[in-house]
């Protein structure tokens, strides 16, 4: 096709609109474990796709299930059909809301989404998996047909998901094709037994942190899920402290990012090895960590970038300075967070106290600043106590998470987690009441309660069981610990912790 799959570039969609939750789906389908056919299904109805659940997507013509070939976890792996298999996570897909009746189909085994190769609009174009970038070629609209089946229409091309040549063989390729009403273009959604549900009632009071064990003493944590399915946390500490887990519950120490020290930061830290607020993410086969070097109460601060292909202690390469602030500046260059928007653009939010939270654009090829522009996206009027920004996209919105009030005072800490949202990554971000976050707005999501003091410096990741809030809190002893909870969203799309 002239360009390798590994080299393809995905320009993402523009103009994403408010999500719609109600669409036709198939309920009540019965699959016999390991069977190659599906029992007779009732007529489709206008029920709700459960965006937290997993579904097997079963062809009407073959009775086989959509799957990631070979259970691959790499970009460009083929989407094929295979004999329905209970427990095969490469046959399980989560419908991630893209708004306006479209969804991305995220594979449970890889976390990647079903994608039309190179944004093609021609009949026969290959269907593969690719990292989720929100592109219209990754968005599919379920539309009712007859007999309790549906077709999946690609937003970019208008063509439908199709089994090549009406094949009934295992391994047959999946492609896109003009809608001709064929049985090989019709699919049943069969909910995977034991799937989580998006239907969650907000609790009447703040929940305690979920169960975590092992090495759980952290401050300013950030988490990433690895391609192999494990987890890495980085947090404030000597040369940045690392922890790992295979299940998001049991954690163990994993050394420091820079066991030999980070000499390039010492002029900002007063020769201390304590580096702050690292932000970890995974892109293009590499881990990226943005982190801060400063001293308490000063805005003589700098944010640096390091990268690694493995994420292991000692494997990190210093990529240098990203942005710095001095006493003459009205902002503080700490608390970085990288977000990649729906158009594939890279942005870094940052800031603590002074005039609040700022946003700068990055060059994706280097991870460094693209230009000298700096935009204010959140600020408090009566108090400068706002910090720890984290921007996370869910549905049609970018959610700006911040921490209000005071950190780092042990059990006397008054940190609390706030949020606002915008349809644009650059804002304006508004709270539930419509107050701009640049005018002190923010909707409270979590605050101290009982023996949980000052929860804050939050991060959010999307995992197989939904969106996850990661933060630190202080115990009665004054020690800081890891907090992890699941996030739900109410009928108006506002997040809550449970």
- Examine the residue annotation and report whether 387 is marked as an active-site residue of this protein: yes
Query: Which one is catalytic: 50, 97, 132, 387?
Result: 387
Long-range contacts of 354-360 (CB under 8 A, 24+ apart): 354/299, 354/329, 354/330, 354/384, 355/330, 355/331, 355/379, 355/384, 356/331, 356/380, 356/384, 356/386, 356/438, 357/386, 357/387, 357/389, 357/400, 357/402, 357/437, 358/331, 359/425, 359/426, 359/427, 360/323
Task: Provide the token pair at 102.
Answer: 């479209």
Query: Which one is catalytic: 75, 97, 132, 220?
Result: 220
- Examine the residue annotation and report whether 220 is marked as an active-site residue of this protein: yes
Under 8 Å between Cβ of 152 and 161 = yes
> Among residues 424, 420, 423, 425, which one has the least CA distance to residue 436?
420
Q: What is the 3-state secondary structure (H, E, C) of the chain?
A: CCCCHHHCCCCCCCCCCCCCCECCECCCCCECCCCCCECCCCCCECCECCCCCCEEEEECCCCCEEEEHHHCCCCCCEEEEECCCCCCHHHCEEEEEEECCEEEEEECCCCCEEEEHHHCCCCCCEEEEECCCCCHHHCEEEEECCCCCEEEEECCCCCEEEEHHHCCCCCCEEEEECCCCCHHHCEEEEECCCCCCCCCCCCCCCCCCCCCEECCCCCCCEEEECCCCCEEEEECEECCEEEEECCCCEEEEEEECCCCCCHHHHHHHCCCCEEEEEEEEEECCEEEEEEEECCCCCCCEEEEEEEECCCCCCCCEEEEEEEEECCCCCCCCCCCEEEECCCCCEEEEECECCCCEEEEEECCCCCCECCCCCEEEECCCCCCCEEEEEEEEECCEEEEEEEECCCCCHHHCCCEEEEEEECCCCCCCECCCCCEHHHCCCEEEECCECCEEEEEEEEEEEECCEEEEEEEEECCCCCEEEEEEEEEECCCCCEEEC
Burial class (CB in 10 A: 0-12, 13-18, 19+), 267: exposed
Active site residues: 220, 387
């Amino acid at each position: 096709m002239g360009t390798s799959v590994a080299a393809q570039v995905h320009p993402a969609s523009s103009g994403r609109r408010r999500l719609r939750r109600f669409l036709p789906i198939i309920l009540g389908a019965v699959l016999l474990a390991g069977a190659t056919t599906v029992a007779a299904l009732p007529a489709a109805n206008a029920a709700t796709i459960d965006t937290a659940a997993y579904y097997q997507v079963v062809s009407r013509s073959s009775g086989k299930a959509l799957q990631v070939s070979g259970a691959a976890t790499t970009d460009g792996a083929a989407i094929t059909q295979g004999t329905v298999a209970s427990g095969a996570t490469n046959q399980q897909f989560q419908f991630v809301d893209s708004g306006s009746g479209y969804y991305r189909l995220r594979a449970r085994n890889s976390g990647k989404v079903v994608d039309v190769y190179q944004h093609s609009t021609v009949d026969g174009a290959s269907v593969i998996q690719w990292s989720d970038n929100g592109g219209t070629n990754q968005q599919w609209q379920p539309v009712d047909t007859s007999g309790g089946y549906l077709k999946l229409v690609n937003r970019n091309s208008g063509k439908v998901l199709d089994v090549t040549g009406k094949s009934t063989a295992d391994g047959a390729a999946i492609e896109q094709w003009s809608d001709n009403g064929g049985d090989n273009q019709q699919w049943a959604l069969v909910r995977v037994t034991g799937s989580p549900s998006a239907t969650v009632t907000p609790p009447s009071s703040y929940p305690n942190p979920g169960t975590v064990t092992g090495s759980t003493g952290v401050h300013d944590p950030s988490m990433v899920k690895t391609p192999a399915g494990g987890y890495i946390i980085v947090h404030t500490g000597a040369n940045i402290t690392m922890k790992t887990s295979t299940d998001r519950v049991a954690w163990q120490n994993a050394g420091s990012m820079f066991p030999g020290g980070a000499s390039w930061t010492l002029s900002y830290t007063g020769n201390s090895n304590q580096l702050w607020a690292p932000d970890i993410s995974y892109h293009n086969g590499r881990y990226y960590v943005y982190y801060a070097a400063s001293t308490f109460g000063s805005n003589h601060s700098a944010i640096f970038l390091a990268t690694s292909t493995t994420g292991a202690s000692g494997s990190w390469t210093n990529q240098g300075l990203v942005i710095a602030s001095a006493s003459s500046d009205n902002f503080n260059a700490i608390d970085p967070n990288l977000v990649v928007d729906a158009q594939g653009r890279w942005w870094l939010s940052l800031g603590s106290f002074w005039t609040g939270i700022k946003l700068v654009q990055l060059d994706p090829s280097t991870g460094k600043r693209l230009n000298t522009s700096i935009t204010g996206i959140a600020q408090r009027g009566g108090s400068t106590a706002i910090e720890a920004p984290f921007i996370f996209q869910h549905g049609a919105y970018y959610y700006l998470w911040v921490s209000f009030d005071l950190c780092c005072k042990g059990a006397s800490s008054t940190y609390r987690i706030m949020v606002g949202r915008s349809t644009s990554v650059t804002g304006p971000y508004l709270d539930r009441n419509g107050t701009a976050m640049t005018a002190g707005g923010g909707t409270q999501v979590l605050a101290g309660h009982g023996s949980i003091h000052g929860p804050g410096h939050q991060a959010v990741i999307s995992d197989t069981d939904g969106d996850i809030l990661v933060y630190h809190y202080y115990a009665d002893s004054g020690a800081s610990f890891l907090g992890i909870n699941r996030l739900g969203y109410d009928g108006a799309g506002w997040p809550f912790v449970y």
